[in-house]
Amino acid sequence: MKETGSASAGSVVKNFLWRLAERIGAQGVKLLVELVLARILLPEEYGLIAMVTVFITVFNVFVDSGLGNALIQKKDADELDFASVFWFNVTLCVVLYGLLYLISPAVASFYRREELCPVLRVLGLQIVISGVKNVYQAYVSRTMQFRKFFFSTLGGTLGAAALGIAMACRGYGVWALVAQQLFNVLTDTVILSLTVKWHPKRMFSWVRLKGLLSYGWKLLLSALLDTVYNEARSLIIGKKYTSEDLAFYNRGEQFPQVIAANVNTSIDSVLLPTMSREQDERSRVRAMTRRAIMTSTFLMAPLMVGIACIGLPLVRLILTEKWVPCVPYLRIFCASMLFFPIHTANLNAIKALGRSDLFLKLEILKKVVGITLILITMHISVAAMALSTLVNSILCQMINSWPNRKLLDYRYRDQLADILPNILTAAAMGACVFAVGLLGLPDWATLLIQVPLGAAVYAGLSALLKNESYGYLLSVLKNFRRKNV
């Protein structure tokens, strides 16, 4: 299996930009489709999908089994490693789908909504498909072929968009959302398998698999804890409150989450394979971690602050008045996700250094904190539960950064000092954007002024104050353009 040599910080950012471009393109189209569907479908129908998605998301954690990261982290992973993981994944996912099929009636009974049973059974088919896709994604990440992701996601996203909108317009309701999601993951997988020059061979080794599982099971358990914790809020809201409450909560989370997920996926998919190759050089891993935190926060801060400030006119204009109750949640999640780059970069450094045991301990500690917050707020209100995510985000970034004070000599206070210029610049931009919203202009006019004004203020202040991340990104983009013209 072909490997690349030592990676520079520039190559990290270059691959990050390729991955980010792919994510923005795919998720941009997906978001536009979601906005169209939100105008056609009712909040209750979105709430139904959110109820079953809780269980599918938890099952999807087992699809990876921590083996994708194990393949990326292992220095000498070869064809036998990849083939063993592939056949294990496919078998496991078939078993998982069978289990999901059997418990579907119980899920419907839990929510007291009989219509959820067939929805869960059909939508759950994506688990089997994802079992195939996961290994291809690991191969692409390990070999740093991030352009391949663009082709696989573009076809799936565009095809799913057309199918979802067509079915919604014909009155299929919740089934339009089911078909959209299922078609997307299926097409992604088919195209990825056709564009990547790797296919599983008929070989298998329990010895190799056990070796990968010895690293991966800790990441699996960590991911399971994280997913169950994250989905617990949706589960509680769907059961204790109403499907509309859940729809507003999820819709408020959607806008910031699309951005945060794309930036973090880009960081995660590039940093782990790059850091893993440099795991014996702690100073290089530290430099990559610092650069990743600074660069991604430079991108994330203005987006989160900006969305929080334009949330009300944005929702009224593109989603209509029926979705206005989601705006408070949107603002809370923007604040919560602003610091996600600190989480992602620190955890990738820990994984790249082979400390999956430490990774698991951190996850257990964070979940104790998070579950405590859920138990405190679940009987108060949905808004209180949303606010608990902000408190949890602040506490968890401290926890995630703690091991790297020794592993990398990179303390939490040093990380905050690195991102402070970006945060302050974004805050100044937000004040200008928010002031425009007080003028009482029509929503379209408000947004027409706010968006370019925010971009101009942020870029202008970054240039004026000679922001390090701003200068670094400009130099990387110039080199990137010269090499790809």
DSSP for 346-384?
Answer: HHHHHHHTT-HHHHHHHHHHHHHHHHHHHHHHTTT-HHH
More confident residue, 332 or 223: 332
pLDDT tens readout for residues 41-69: 777 787 788 888 888 888 888 776 567 76
For 301-325, what is the mean pLDDT?
A: 90
More confident residue, 222 or 298: 298
Q: What's the pLDDT score for residue 26?
A: 63
Q: Is the pLDDT of residue 27 over 70?
A: no
Give backbone dihedrals phi and psi of 82, rounded to 5 degrees, phi first.
Answer: -65, -40
Give backbone dihedrals phi and psi of 381, rounded to 5 degrees, phi first.
Answer: -170, 170
Q: What's the pLDDT score for residue 288?
A: 80
Q: What's the pLDDT score for residue 2?
A: 45
Rounded Cα–Cα distance for residues 136 and 153 (Å): 13
- 3-class DSSP assignment, residue 22: helix
Q: Is the pLDDT of residue 378 over 70?
A: yes
List of residues 6+ apart from 230 with CB closer than 8 A: none
| 291 token code pair | 């650069």
Helix%, strand%, coil% for the chain, nearest 5: 85, 0, 15
The mean of the pLDDT values for the chain is 82
For 105-120, what is the mean pLDDT?
A: 90
Rounded Cα–Cα distance for residues 179 and 203 (Å): 34
Q: 405 falls in which pLDDT band (50, 70, 90)? A: confident
Q: What's the pLDDT score for residue 308?
A: 93
For 6-26, what is the mean pLDDT?
A: 56
Rounded Cα–Cα distance for residues 395 and 201 (Å): 45
Encode burial over 223-234: b for 16+ CB neighbours within 10 A, e otherwise: bbbebbbebbbb
For 287-298, what is the mean pLDDT?
A: 84
Rounded Cα–Cα distance for residues 264 and 472 (Å): 19
Q: By the 8 A CB rule, do 8 and 275 touch?
A: no
Q: What's the pLDDT score for residue 7?
A: 47
Give backbone dihedrals phi and psi of 459, rounded to 5 degrees, phi first.
Answer: -65, -40
More confident residue, 33 or 310: 310
Q: Is the pLDDT of residue 36 over 90?
A: no
Nearest to 335 by CA among 372, 375, 303, 370: 303
Rounded Cα–Cα distance for residues 113 and 134 (Å): 32
List of residues 6+ apart from 177 with CB closer than 8 A: 37, 41, 45, 46, 49, 164
